[in-house]
Homo-oligomer: A and B are copies of this chain.
Amino acid sequence: MDAPATGTGARAVEADAAAQERYLRLRADFDNLRRRAAREREAGQLEGRRAALTPLLPVLDTLERALQAGSTDPAFCEGVAATHRLFIQALRDAGAEPIESVGRPFDPNVHEAVAMVPADGGRPGTVAREVRRGWRLGDTLLRPAQVVVVAPREPVDPWR
């Protein structure tokens, strides 16, 4: 009766090892999932803010264009200007921050070049003018700034 018993024992040991490995794998997956679940809520909050704020930025643009066009009614214009200040503050309260662009070096991570001006318009490679303001949300980009860039100077070729 020894041989079958030993065979059964060996199979039992193998089965134990397989069950133990299966358990440990699931344990590791569980710990990973727990870490991910903690980050899920934060990731969701950022997504939610992004989804809410993105459609509101063109509304602010339109309000700014109206203000730039100006008005012959100073009282009404002042009311709208006050709304504009509140709007910017509300976006900041929601976690959004405008991107500083004019005079800064062109940065492809946050700037989108829509035109160039000759080098005598400012320091080459810097932003001459902002066409549409860019916005950040925390460490992420809500939308890039659309900017006009000062062209780099023609390189001086010493062999010519």
A contact residues vs B (CB 8 Å cutoff): 1-2, 5, 8-9, 12, 15-16, 19-20, 22-23, 26-27, 29-30, 33-34, 36-38, 40-53, 55-56, 58-59, 62-63, 65-66, 69-73, 76-77, 79-80, 82-83, 86-87, 89-91, 93-95
Contact = CB atoms under 8 A, between A and B. Distances in A.
The oligomer's copy count stands at 2
A150 B26 CA distance: 62
B83 A63 contact: yes
Nearest to A66: B79
B66 A76 contact: yes
A100 to B, nearest CB: 22
Contact of A83 (B27, B36, B46, B66): B66
The 5 closest A-B pairs by CB, nearest first: A44-B44, A48-B48, A52-B52, A71-B76, A66-B79
